[in-house]
Amino acid sequence: MVSDPHPSGFPSNTPPLGHNIVPGSIPKGTLLYHGSMSRGLPPGPEWVATDPEHSYFYCREWEWESRPGPFQHGCWLLTLATTRPLKVIYFDGSSAVKLPYGSMDIQDLIAWGGLGRHDINDDDRRIQDLCKWGKKFGVDGFVR
């Protein structure tokens, strides 16, 4: 774990936006989980969690009209096991918080080469462009 030096004594909390980009790895045999309302494998890049409880939260019966595919009731918990070590990039701080105050600026800077008025909810485009950038460096995924 990386600690940001800060006089408040609360690393990565004040300011809460984070600024470190840390290379990391996920060992072979690690279990990862993906919760969904739809059966089957995700059709493209998606999030996974390191515990089933976190994934289960995301397969609640939300009525997301913006999600592709038919709305299905129930929870589908996919369990994956890594077959090789995965090379990842870790964004620290509050980089997953979807607020218009700059919490995702580092991701946007890498994905799109600059800061601007990017849609904080455009996760599909963001992960596609982050993956395109990461492919040049052999990155398998991102942790935030």
pLDDT of residue 4: 47
Whether the model pTM is above 0.75: no
Q: Strand order in 86-91's β-sheet? A: 21-26, 86-91, 141-143
pLDDT tens series, the chain, 144 aa: 444 444 445 554 455 555 678 899 999 999 999 988 778 888 888 888 999 988 887 776 555 555 555 555 678 889 999 999 999 999 876 777 777 777 788 888 888 888 776 787 888 898 999 999 999 999 999 988
Beta bridge partners of residue 31, listed in sequence order: 81
pLDDT of residue 65: 52
Beta pairing class for 76-81 and 86-91: unpaired
Give the DSSP per-residue string, the chain.
Answer: ------TTS-TTTSSTT---EEEEEE-TT-EEEEEESS-S--SS----BSSHHHHHHTTS----TTSSS----S-EEEEEE-SS-EEEEEE-TTTT---TTSTTHHHHHHHHSS-S---TT-HHHHHHHHHHHHHTTT--EEE-
Beta bridge partners of residue 127, listed in sequence order: none
CA distance 26 to 31: 10
